[in-house]
Amino acid sequence: MNYFSSDFKLGILGGGQLGKMLLYNTRKFDIYTCVLEASNKAPCKIACDEFHLGDLMDYNAVYNFGKQVDVLTIEIENVNVDALETLENEGVKVYPASNTLRTIQNKAKQKLFYIDHNIPTADFSRFAYISEIEDAVANGGLKFPFVWKAAQFGYDGNGVKVVRQLSDLDGLPKGECIAENLVPFKNELAVIVARNASGDTKTFPVVEMEFHPEANQVEYVICPARIPDDVARKATEVALKVSKAFNHVGLLAVEMFQTKDDAILVNEVAPRPHNSGHQTIEASYTSQFEQHLRAILNLPLGRTDNKVGGVMVNLVGAEGYTGNVVYQNIENIMTMDGVTPHIYGKKQTRPFRKMGHVTIVNEDLNEARRIAEEVKKSIKVISE
């Protein structure tokens, strides 16, 4: 099929920053794109060929949009899966497939999937209501501390909480959830696996993620991870096993824990471009966004190794600021060697909202990490 400078249409569900960065590459290849998104102020709006307003959880909105495109992909998991299933049955190519998304959308189903496929993951219990957790604690079936996760609609640290006492459950959503053993780990790692419809797979180098203690958001992504080769090999093998089990097409970001004794446990996955791959734009031969396009269009997959070491810093809204965004000291960080800011195009900031990221590339990874900290301290995302 001719995708380039043709009447082929690629549909993207979701209009956020991941979609915007995907569109850098559709423009590079001159692929015609249509985006569906609920907000008229979405970052994608400036970069797609057609922008459609609609609720991603609404069956008719997703179905009617999908009927107008040849291949449909996502940049966010929270979409109407029933509509995707109907579209697949009517011949639209949907990547990732509806059955993959159905499993991944629900954290309880996702965890059961790992158990069924002998994929190592932290022990957990599944609950229909949060009140059942209190009963389990009372009768000794569940011990503190554990990690509470909402089964659905969590993102960026929302829907996840470490529970050390009963009062920590106060104010959490009442519905379906899991309680997961708190894993004592050395590192949080991630591997992005790309797979096309022909079944060819490639993995990006293992990255290490450093988290913000309060917001439960990634502060730094470091690539390659500063871990022994055998641990990196093990993490890559586990990621490939997960990819094979899902039989997905596109990208699959596999987030993992490296335990104190160097075992690898899968935390969760995302079937799309992911925060743990942003540094690939500057640091890799093929960015994760270009690779996602190659995979869903069944084109040859690009080279995935690093040209240079890369560290990514998330730019999130500073605490205490809500309103029209101002990037304070952005000129200062642009004087630093190897520093590239990416601004997502969200006009309104609020505490911990992802507003952009900065990539730091350097032949010396430790120097890149040092500069990243300087970047983090210098730039502030505030409001007018």
Interior CA angle at 190 toward 184 and 194, to 5°?
Answer: 150
State yes or no: 183 annotated in a binding site. Answer: yes
Are 341 and 294 members of one domain?
yes
In this structure, the answer to whether residues 163 and 203 fall within a common structural domain is no
Give residue-wise pLDDT tens across range 252-307.
999 999 999 999 999 999 999 999 999 999 999 999 999 999 999 999 999 999 99
Q: Are residues 177 and 194 in the same domain?
A: no
Total structural domains in the chain? 3
Rounded Cα distance between 57 and 37, Å, is 10
Please indicate if the annotation marks 176 as binding a ligand. Answer: no
157 and 48 housed in the same domain: no
Q: Each residue of 146-181: b (16+ CB within 10 Å) or e?
A: bbbbbbbebebeebbbebeeeeebeeeeeebbbbbb
Same-domain status, 313 and 221? yes
Instruction: For residue 37, say whether it is annotated as part of any ligand binding site.
Output: no
pLDDT tens column, 71-119: 999 999 999 999 999 999 999 999 999 999 999 999 999 999 999 999 9
pLDDT tens sequence across 228-241: 999 999 999 999 99
Q: Is 189 annotated for ligand binding?
A: no
Mean pLDDT of 153-178: 87
CATH number at residue 147: 3.30.1490.20
Residue 131, burial from CB neighbour count under 10 angstroms (0-12, 13-18, 19+): exposed
* 194/152 same-domain check: no
pLDDT digits (tens, 9 = 90+) for 6-45: 999 999 999 999 999 999 999 999 999 999 999 999 999 9
Residues spanned by the domain of 176: 123-181
Task: Name the nearest CA neighbour of 191 among 183, 199, 202.
Answer: 202
Pair 240, 149 in one domain: no
Helix, strand, or coil (residue 218): strand
The reply to whether 319 sits in an annotated binding site is no
In a domain, residue 105? The reply is no
17, containing H or E segment: helix 17-29
Percent residues over pLDDT 70 in the chain: 99
139 is in an annotated binding site: no
Consecutive H or E run containing 136: helix 130-138
At residue 38, the pLDDT reads: 97
pLDDT of the residue at 157: 67
Whether 156 and 203 map to the same domain: the answer is: no
Please check whether residue 2 lies inside any domain of the structure: no
Q: Residue 156: is its pLDDT beyond 70?
A: no
Residue 35 carries which DSSP code? E
Query: Mean of the per-residue pLDDT values for the chain?
Result: 95
Question: Is 135 within the bounds of a domain?
Answer: yes
pTM score, whole prediction: 0.95
Confirm or deny that 380 is annotated as ligand binding. Answer: no
- Is 228 found in the same domain as 139? no
Report if residue 264 sits inside a domain.
Answer: yes
Sign of the CA dihedral with 68 first, then 73, 78, and 83 last: positive
pLDDT > 90 fraction of the chain, expressed in percent and rounded: 91
User: What torsion, rounded to 10 degrees, do the Cα atoms 305, 306, 311, 317 define?
Assistant: -60
Residue 63 has pLDDT above 90, yes or no: yes
**Predicted pLDDT of residue 225:** 97
Quick one: pLDDT band at residue 53, thresholds 50, 70, 90? very high
Residue 249 lies in a domain: yes
